Each structure stands twice: as C-alpha cells, then as structure tokens.
Amino acid sequence: MKMRHRCLGIIAAGALVAGMTACAGTDRDAGSDGNQTVRIQGIENMTGLDRYAVNGIGQDSIAMLWGDMLVSTDHRGTYTAGLVEDWEWSEDELSVELTVRQGVTFSNGDELTSEDVAFTIARLKDPELPNAGAWAVVDTVETPDEHTVIVNFSAPMPVFLNLASRTPGLNAAAYAEDPEGYFDAPIGTGPYNVVSFNGPTGTVKLEQKDDWWGWTDDNRSNVTTIEYSYVPADQSRVSALQAGEVEIVQKLPVGDSDRIAAEGFVIDKYNELSHVYFGLRSGEGDPFESPQLREALSLAIDRESLVNDLLGGGRVSTWPSMPDTIGFRDGDGYAFDPEAAARLVVESGYDGAELNFILPNGLFAQGQEVAEAIQAMAGAVGINLAVVSLETATMQEHISAGSYDIYMNAFTMVNADSFTQITSLIGRDRFNTGFVNPELTALTQEIAVTVDQTTRDDLTAEAYQIIMDSFAPTIFLYEPLGVTASVESVTGLIPFPDGVADFRFLTKS
C-alpha cells in the first residue's frame, strides 16, 4: 500500500502563497514591453552559486531564478509540485517514488529526465558538502524509467520534502563534463540564466529565458535582466535606493522604514521565522563550561530594549523556536536581571578575562549595533566581551576551528520546521560549541527519524526545554522584523517569512 502526497504543514494565518505557479496563478497585467532591468541589493554574500556548498537563505532566492526546486513550497510547511510532479511514500516510509515533470528543458537544451533528478539527490551525500549530513539516510536512488525516481532510505527521513524544496535540479551530463565550473554559470531549468557571477564581490547578473516551462500569459515577467549585489552596510543600501541606483533593497533597517515610505517607496514588513542568537563555547576548559556564567550572560541582556529601542521592531525570543513552528511552546521566556547576573558571574569563578565575541558582517540588520549594545550590557555585570565582526566565510573558519568564546548568528526555520536547528546545529554540534548533554543528544537522534508530526513536535519541545534550562549550547535573543523596500514601478516581489524572496514574477512599469 502506498500513501498519496498531500499538502501538509503548519500554516499561519495569512500565509503568503500567491505568485507561486505550483499553488496559485498570478492574475495581473504583464506590464510594458521592452527590456527591463531590476537591480537588487541584499546582505547575502553570494560567494558561490552551489546551493549546498554555500550556506545562506539568500542562496535559495537566486537558485529559484536559474533553477527550479524539486518541489515547491509556501515556505510555511506546505509542499506542492515542482520539478517533481507527484510523490508516493511506501507504507514503512523507507522509500518514496517521484514522478518527474515532463516537457522541461535545461538552458543548454537538454530535456529533464529522471537521471538528472537522481543525480541531484545522490550528489547531496557528497561528504565535501557542508550539509551532507542532512542527507545521510538516503541509501540508494533508482531510475526505473525516464520519468520515475525511487529514493530508498536507511531510516525514515521526515524532512525529505523540506530539503527537496531547497534543491534546484541539476543537469547530470553537463555536471559530469565540468564539475569544477558548473556553478560559475549553472545550467538550470529556471526562468533566468546566469550570464555573469563574481564570487569575491557577491554579484550575480541573470537574463530571462523565453521558453521557461512555468511562464503563462498571466505570470510572465517583463523583467529581462536581474542584477543582485551584496552590500553589507545598511545605509549604503538605503542610499542606493534613494539615489535610483537599485529598485529593491532587502533587510532595510526597521527604523528607516517610515522615512523611506514617506519618500514614496514601497515597504514590505513581515515577521521573520528566524532567530538572532548566541552560540557559546561551553566544552571542557572553556569559560562558558560554567552554567552560572552562561545564565549570567542571558540575565544581563535586556532583550526588550534591543528590540524596541535599538531595532525599532521585532519579537523578543522566548523559546528556541517561534510561534507556528514545530516544537514551539509558549512560556515566560528569558528573564532580565542584571543584579542576579552580577552575582552569578562571581559564583562562576570567571576572572574577567577578555572573551572573543564574533559575528558575521552584514548578515542581519544592525548586527554591529546589537553586538555593541550587548557588549555594554555584559560589561555592566562584569563580563568582558571583545566584539569582532568578520566576513561570513572567515567566521565559518573560526567556528570550524572552535576559535571563539561566543558567536552571534541568525538561524532561520526554513518552511517553519525546527529540524535542521535541532538535529544539525545542536544535535551534531555543527558550530563546534563543545556542549555535551547525553539526554539532548538522544532526543535529537530520535527526532531525526520520527515522521509523525505530533510526536516530532513533542520531542522537539522536550529538547528545547533542555536548551532553555542549560543556557547552552545556544541562547536566543530576538526574532527580527523583515523589511524590504522597493520602487513603486516594480511589483510582484514575494518576500517569505523564512527569508527567501521570490523574484521570478517581477513586473517593472
């Protein structure tokens, strides 16, 4: 017996699904004829275009232009047809049969077949890829015919569709010919081709394809060229928008939104399904091995002030996940008590030594200002932090080497699912905190193979309670308010709460 797929997931009120061709059509004027260019500035450094070799939510936005994901999603946990039109799970959940969409061609003219989809999935187990562990239970991938793929698992994989919704289909033959250069100008099935890419500067230029399978009379974009550039400095992006140098700016500082709106720009605000958080080196011999010092750091931080006074909006983190995500539980959250924090600092035996506090440059709005505010709050209770802002790639090197005391980062619940955070970031200690808790480890391993959503929700909440009680390996700060600004002449932008933006159906008048 096989189970037919259906749209499953946690859907928050007002979930944004319009504009996705797999879920709903777009009923609007395609705009004026002629060549149109849309220039975008964001804070995601496109150091590479291989979605699974470079971490970053912004990668999904660009991958949706040059490629098509294996399945489509509303980014809140509901999955529908993409390059894979249909899927059937075996009763024991140890295999899934995929039906590959017909009539789809790559940018080099090759037709999409089951061999391409099978290669795309099998490649993700490559140990050279940083997220290979997420695909570890994929055992074998079969292609009984040109339009059928059977994926066999060594254990249930409850997030297969989640990950597939972030996986652009690759051309197996073209990749075999040039694996090193494939992602310089990816051969994909999407609505745009990459015509130039500069990794060191994080710039990508794409041009529209006339024959994309997803175009209809109702949704076809009149934007022939899309240019993305990485600009980490908040005010530089604002200035570029005001000067007419770009049409869309991502991650606008919340405090600037009213002023920019008053100048005639269009503002999209949305609650992000993401956390800004601390990771603490808390292994043997580390300063934050002390639970008292970890709790002291949390008690020292006035999260309400950060969100309301410094950032101008967002939500204070009260739990390791957020409302409408798997594992969320409503509670009192973190306390702010600097007097208790100061007492715990003394009890911890911490000697006042300078602690290395690293954060990525430009990954989240006003990150430097937040870090400096926290530095002052920690200093007031006797914790000496040295703030160091690093390029994303350099920060990853520090994390891999365990060369930090505290890192500050942002983590997104992609498709409203806590799986990656609980099983990879925490369960496999991907960021090298050194924190050890056998009960937490056992829970994360069980979550990794639990298919039933209710059970997975309960187990995740149990694991999160341990994290809250331990103040390790992560301490959560706030959930940002996402702000995108654009010129009035550009419509059709779809910003999703998990940080992905859909640029496929833009219209410029």
In angstroms, rounded to a whole number, what is the distance separating the alpha carbons of residues 426 and 178? Answer: 35
Q: Cα–Cα distance between 250 and 484 in angstroms, integer?
A: 5
**243: CB partners within 8 A, 6+ apart:** none
| C-alpha 85, offset from chain centre | 24
* CATH T-level fold of 68-187: Dipeptide-binding Protein; domain 1 (3.90.76)
Residue 2 has pLDDT above 80, yes or no: no
Give the residue-averaged pLDDT of 267-272.
Answer: 88
Place of tokens 């006339």: 210
pLDDT for 33: 52
More confident residue, 301 or 132: 301
Q: How far is CA 239 from the centre of its chain?
A: 26
pLDDT of 20 strictly over 50: no
Mean pLDDT computed over 449-461: 90
Kindly report the number of other CB atoms within 10 A of residue 447's CB atom: 25
Of the listed ranges 28-42, 292-306, 312-326, 485-499, the least confidently predicted one is 28-42
The per-residue pLDDT for 350 is: 97
Integer Cα distance of 343 and 297 in angstroms: 11
Tally the C-alpha atoms within 13 A of residue 25's C-alpha that lie toward its C-beta.
Answer: 8
Residues 206-221 have a mean pLDDT of 95
Q: Sketch the domain layout of the chain as residue ranges.
A: 12-67+190-272+482-509, 68-187, 274-479
pLDDT at res. 254: 87
Whether 362 shows a pLDDT value over 80: the answer reads no
The encoded tokens of residue 363 equal 């990954």
User: Which secondary-structure segment (H or E) carries 178?
Assistant: none
Give the pLDDT of residue 35. 82
Checking if the pLDDT of 290 tops 50, the result is: yes
Q: What is the pLDDT of residue 34?
A: 64
Locate 450 and state its tokens.
């639990």
Q: What is the pLDDT of residue 108?
A: 96
| Domain 12-67+190-272+482-509 coded CATH 1.10.10.60 | no
Give the confidence band of 477 by pLDDT, cuts at 50, 70, 90: very high
- pLDDT, average across residues 332-343: 97
Helix then strand then coil, % of the chain, to nearest 5: 30, 25, 45
The architecture that CATH gives domain 274-479 is Roll (3.10)
Give the whole-angstrom CA distance, residue 4 versus residue 10. 19
Q: pLDDT-derived band of residue 51, with 50, 70 and 90 as boundaries?
A: confident
Both tokens of 457, joined, read 């929700």
- Rounded to an integer, the average pLDDT of 242-258 is 92
